Amino acid sequence: MQISRSCIIHQVQYYETDSMRIAHHSNYVKWMEEARQGFFKQAGFDWKRMEEMTGIMIPVLFQSVEYKQMIKFDENVNIICTCNKFNGVKMEFTYDFCIAGSGKIRAVGITKHGFIDSAYKPIALQEGYFEGYEQLRKFITSRA
């Protein structure tokens, strides 16, 4: 069940490409992080503030990208970030990479995350940062 989504646009830079002017596969992981940051901003969730106030972090537990067709230098890529799961302990996002204006999916990705405290122990966000948990919960459920 798709819960909530946001979209960013990324213009592929020359330095992100290989000698064939095709976006290097390592960039997709970075672009997924950009898209997640966009999702959190749209939700009003201040990730930096949470870390500074509580020490809670959101590490990546799993990530994968399936490349369907190349993305090239100077193309504008719509990266649609969808939150599929959120329970305060874990989150899961999927990503669709489409060339702006075409709607054709060039790649798909997934990341899974957990919440941990400053001692690197799992924590429920609602116990360690209830305000942030509520911001995310309300944003996610309001867009269902």
Q: CA 97, CA 83: separation in Å to the nearest integer? A: 15
Mean pLDDT over residues 40-62, rounded? 95
Q: Is the pLDDT of residue 92 over 50?
A: yes
pLDDT at position 2 is 46
Q: Is the pLDDT of residue 144 over 80?
A: no
Q: How confident is the model at residue 141 (pLDDT cuts 50, 70, 90)?
A: confident
Give the ranges where the chain is alpha helix by DSSP (H): 27-43, 47-54, 125-128, 130-142
What average pLDDT does the chain have? 94
Tell me the three state secondary structure of residue 75.
Answer: coil
Cβ-contact 86, 43 below 8 angstroms: no
- Among candidate residues 26, 55, 52, the one with its CA nearest the CA of residue 118: 55
Q: Is the pLDDT of residue 72 over 50?
A: yes
Q: Is the pLDDT of residue 24 over 60?
A: yes
Mean pLDDT over residues 71-81, rounded? 97
pTM assigned to the model: 0.92
Q: CA 123, CA 116: separation in Å to the nearest integer? A: 5
Q: CA 123, CA 108: separation in Å to the nearest integer? A: 29
Which domains does the chain show, CATH number per domain?
4-142 (3.10.129.10)
Please, which residues have CB within 8 angstroms of residue 48's CB and are 6 or more apart in sequence?
A: none
Cβ-contact 74, 131 below 8 angstroms: no
pLDDT at position 80 is 96
Strand partners, 66: 108
Residue with tokens 């996002």: 93
pLDDT over 70 percentage in the chain: 97
